[in-house]
Structure 1
Amino acid sequence: MMLQGFKHFSNVSGLEVNENKTEVYTASMKEEEVQRILNASGFTRGKMPFKYLGVPISHKRLGVKECMVLVEKMTARVRCWSSRNISYQGRLVLVNAVLLSIQVYWAQMFVLPKKVIHEIQMVCRAYLWSDNYFSSSGGYVAWEKVCRPKNAGGLGVRNLECWNMATMGRYAWALETKKDNLWIKWVNELYVKNENWWDYKPTQGCSWYWKKICEVKDVLKGKLSEAVLQNMHEYSVKSIYTILTDRLQKTKRLYDMGVATTDQCLICGMHEETQKHLFFECNYSKSIFRRIATWMGIQLSNMTVQSIMQWISRCRETKFKKQVYAMVLGALVYHIWRCRNEVYWSQYVSTVNNIVYRVQKDVIDRCYSVLPKKVSIANRGWLRELAVNVCR
């Protein structure tokens, strides 16, 4: 049948099969059958593993050795760039646009081994901070923070593990939505059969590749509901990646996962509970921020984590005051999030005065517990004044 298909294709297109460049690959077949195919076709017999369209094809598990070619390609690129004295910003662009793009093609086909992902991150980190393909010293900022979006204080570098899961999630989505293609029909007939794909568990005898796809499906189950995946008309890697990298369990995210019944803010009940709304746009949070800003004797017009941290780093204040400002910001975020959880679990909303008092008390207690010995008289007086003006 296969040879008839080749012949029909040749008759229609005028193209002929080159016997010298065509090989036959077999698995779990009797030697007599293999030999009969070779005699009838005139093709030679190929051996596993082999490369097709640049990626390794093998009946065995994809190992670190097969994937190290990605690291070698990145290292070769970095060696070409290391002598060009490129700025940090320029190196960041090259990491995002070139180095991380090398693994994108593979990441769409395989779940890359964690050691390979770690090696790729090491090359990217070394080039970004030290302009080299290897560095024994750590970076100036934790790589986890570097991989955060720019609007969350990071550099926008992709988290490779989450990106790999997001790209491979396309297969789980195709199985869930029962796309009309040959591969979906084949795995349904061979593996899933009459079971529900969302609850399916692979058996011991399944192939390693199929088990990896099932692992990806389980990762998505922890972030999304079955209904959400079914309602996706087109699979969006960017949307799934955003969900996988978002760790804060806000109502909007819980609603998207099918856990919560609404996506509205638990405190005000008027808007979607996104991170930006909960901490900086909700009237409840705004009132707390205004009260604390007045207590600190400062004015803030644009309230986001990034803008506040930027203001703290640029303001003309002593190092001690800047540390206290950062401490106040951390306490605000903590207590607003704690208040939100109290509403979720106990249906109780603390008053603004209560939250303000908790923030002030935590900051003052913390300052006096870790107060350095070398603090100027002016700073001690400023801290004492803050303690006196704590809301009662």
Structure 2
Amino acid sequence: MLFSRGDLPSIRILMECLQEFRDVSGLAVNTAKSNIFTAGIQNDTLDEVLAMTEFARGHMPVRYLGIPLAAQRLSVTDYSPLVDQIAGWSGVLLAPSLPLPMAVIEKIHRLCRAFLWNSKRAPVAWVDICHPKEEGGLGVRHIQSWNVALLARVLWNIHCKADTLWAKWVNEVYLRGASLWDWQPKKDDSPLLRRLAEIRDRIITDFGSTEAAIRQMTEWTDRKGLVTSIAYEYFRPKLPKQPWKASIWKAFIPPKYSFILWLGLRERLATRDRLAFLHEDPTCSLCINSKESAKHLFFECPFSSYIWSYIRQWFGITRRMSTLLSAVKWLKKGKTGSSVQNKARHLALACTVYSLWRHRNEIIFEGKAPNPDGLVISIKITVYRLILTLFPQGL
């Protein structure tokens, strides 16, 4: 993107520079893919400029490097290419350093929810998923907080008068020698500048003074500038840490096992007591005797009790477990034995929970008959297979 005055001599110099660049590098401007944007130019001058450059005249809004640009505040519609890109999963990174409207953020959240759950009904709220695994989430970035962290980096660049064209331009045109921390935006200033002022005021309010805010932001920096990930930790929502993170999110546990165990610990599995609004039979499909709940399905049901009795006997465990949380706490306390034994215990718990849930679904949706002995054998084979994958040279 190149800028110049809107007169013929300036445009001529610009085109000569592009010609010289082509002669030196061998890279020529593609006139078919280039546009020229003008403002305040007389029609006769505009015609001469278009003839000289051979560029087509462009119109706002337009996308530049995937980001919408416009001469006025962007509407939700202007962000549709960005949302469409996410919907098609053609983009890997999403890190726009411009303020995203809440309506756009909510659209992105809906796309992410649909991708994760493949359903309109989400068992876990998206804001909870955006918490770190230590706090019971999945570690997905909270888009709004990440956007604020990126804007905080822009704010810091202006404060430090970083050697970037944009930071220099803001300091020269808007601040005009004034301190960023005292400057107040005007009503007709860009939405980006007004949003930066809002973030600045929030930081000052949070830390009590301008001096304290600057000291805190200094702690977020390294030799390259403000570290966005550190700022994100400050801006993101927070929850108390959960005791089960270290026991379920292990590299050696298959992700699908960890995911079902995570849903179970959050009490978000679609057991029949949570589907009462559908007016379906609430009876447990494993024992055909009691009402199905997560606690009944995994521990109180005679079928699951039979499975657990074999698993406990297999590992020499005498203590009975009544909830998934108590089972995970037992894993944390029972760290005796070799590395192989500890890994096998973690795998056995995750595999048993996953297998019970899968077997329950096969009975309901595929009409299979309950098979406790076959399920025990399947769990043991799976755990042995995974352990042998971890220790191929032998135990």
TM tier, shorter chain?
A: 0.5 to 0.7
2:58 to 32, 40, 46: 46
Alpha-carbon distance in structure 2 between the residues aligned to 1:7 and 1:33? 22
Alpha-carbon distance in structure 2 between the residues aligned to 1:140 and 1:204? 43
Partner of 1:123: 111
Partner of 1:238: 229
Partner of 2:149: 166
Partner of 1:156: 139
Contact 1:146 1:157 in 2 (8 A): yes
Distance 1:64 1:4, change over 3 A: same
Partner of 1:56: 68
Greater RCO (CA < 8 Å, at least 6 residues apart)? 2
Alpha-carbon distance in structure 2 between the residues aligned to 1:19 and 1:156? 45
Partner of 2:193: 210
Alpha-carbon distance in structure 1 between the residues aligned to 2:101 and 2:77? 10
Contact 2:185 2:194 in 1 (8 A): yes
Q: Secondary structure of 2:116's partner?
A: helix
Partner of 1:226: 214
Alpha-carbon distance in structure 1 between the residues aligned to 2:113 and 2:28? 49
1:27 aligns with 2:39: yes
**1:205 Cα deviation after fit:** 2.1
Contact 1:22 1:43 in 2 (8 A): yes
Give the residue type in structure 1 aligned to 2:116: L
Write out per-residue CA displacement over residues 34-87 of structure 1, whole angstroms, 9 at most, x where no aligned residue: 34433443433222222222222211222211223343344445xxxxxxxxxx
**1:175 Cα deviation after fit:** 0.6
Alpha-carbon distance in structure 1 between the residues aligned to 2:159 and 2:40? 30
1:178 aligns with 2:161: yes
| TM-score normalised according to structure 2 size | 0.52
Contact 2:37 2:59 in 1 (8 A): yes
Aligned 1:216-365 pairs, distance under 5 A:
216-223=199-206, 225-230=213-218, 232=221, 233=223, 234-245=225-236, 247=238, 304=243, 316=320
**1:102 Cα deviation after fit:** 4.8
Write out per-residue CA displacement over residues 324-352 of structure 1, whole angstroms, 9 at most, x where no aligned residue: xxxxxxxxxxxxxxxxxxxxxxxxxxxxx
Give the residue type in structure 2 aligned to 1:27: A
**1:163 Cα deviation after fit:** 1.0
Alpha-carbon distance in structure 2 between the residues aligned to 1:115 and 1:182? 30
Give the residue type in structure 2 aligned to 1:6: L
Percent identical residues: 31
Give the residue type in structure 2 aligned to 1:22: S
Alpha-carbon distance in structure 2 between the residues aligned to 1:227 and 1:28? 44
Contact 2:131 2:137 in 1 (8 A): yes
Q: Secondary structure of 1:51's partner?
A: strand
Alpha-carbon distance in structure 2 between the residues aligned to 1:76 and 1:306? 32
Higher helix share: 1
Alpha-carbon distance in structure 2 between the residues aligned to 1:159 and 1:150? 13
Partner of 1:72: 84
Contact 1:223 1:244 in 2 (8 A): no
Contact 2:131 2:237 in 1 (8 A): no
Alpha-carbon distance in structure 1 between the residues aligned to 2:102 and 2:93? 13
Distance 1:125 1:305, change over 3 A: same
**1:219 Cα deviation after fit:** 4.1
Distance 1:11 1:126, change over 3 A: closer
Alpha-carbon distance in structure 1 between the residues aligned to 2:206 and 2:110? 28
Alpha-carbon distance in structure 2 between the residues aligned to 1:218 and 1:28? 36
Contact 1:51 1:57 in 2 (8 A): yes
Alpha-carbon distance in structure 2 between the residues aligned to 1:40 and 1:74? 39
Partner of 1:331: none
Distance 1:69 1:222, change over 3 A: farther
Partner of 1:112: 100
Q: Secondary structure of 1:200's partner?
A: coil
Alpha-carbon distance in structure 1 between the residues aligned to 2:206 and 2:228? 14
Give the residue type in structure 1 aligned to 2:128: K
Contact 2:148 2:199 in 1 (8 A): yes
Write out per-residue CA displacement over residues 90-111 of structure 1, whole angstroms, 9 at most, x where no aligned residue: xxxxxxxx9xx6561xx42321
Alpha-carbon distance in structure 2 between the residues aligned to 1:122 and 1:151? 24
**1:122 Cα deviation after fit:** 1.9
Alpha-carbon distance in structure 2 between the residues aligned to 1:230 and 1:200? 20
Give the residue type in structure 1 aligned to 2:65: L
Partner of 1:37: 49
Give the residue type in structure 1 aligned to 2:50: L
Moved more, 54-63 or 161-170: 54-63
CA RMSD of superposed structures (Å): 3.6
Contact 1:146 1:155 in 2 (8 A): yes
Give the residue type in structure 1 aligned to 2:106: H
**1:316 Cα deviation after fit:** 4.7
Alpha-carbon distance in structure 2 between the residues aligned to 1:229 and 1:5? 41
| TM-score normalised according to structure 1 size | 0.52
Alpha-carbon distance in structure 1 between the residues aligned to 2:244 and 2:184? 42
Alpha-carbon distance in structure 2 between the residues aligned to 1:58 and 1:14? 32
